[in-house]
Amino acid sequence: MAVQALYYSERDGLEMALKHPDTLLFSSKAEADARDKVLELAEEITQFLQARVEGMDENLAEKAALAIAEEKELFGKALKKPSLLNQSTLPD
């Protein structure tokens, strides 16, 4: 029997990773670390949004922050060319 190591971000938690193995379980530590960095960025963006956008509840701030963090490269490019945000087909 072969043994395979799987990695996940502690920020997601094992239970969540097991519920969504296709997107939250990784075969390398580097991939899990990258996911952890996205989640760390999302936490910071969540705090920023809640402080700066009046009336934004925590749930919506978390969803928006994760979407932004997951597309950080796109947002980085969009700072120079805003139309890029709506040129590519983004998932729902």
* pTM of the model as a whole: 0.79
Residues 74 and 90: their CA atoms lie apart, in Å, by 11
pLDDT tens sequence across 53-80: 999 999 999 999 999 999 999 999 999 9
CATH of 35-86, one of 3.40.50, 1.10.10, 1.10.12, 3.30.1330: 1.10.10
Please list, residue by residue across 26-52, b when 16 or more beta carbons sit within 10 angstroms of its beta carbon and e when fewer do: beeeeebeebbebbebbeebbeebbee
H helical segments located in 1-92: 14-19, 21-24, 29-52, 58-70, 72-78
Instruction: Map out the domains of the chain as residue ranges.
Output: 35-86
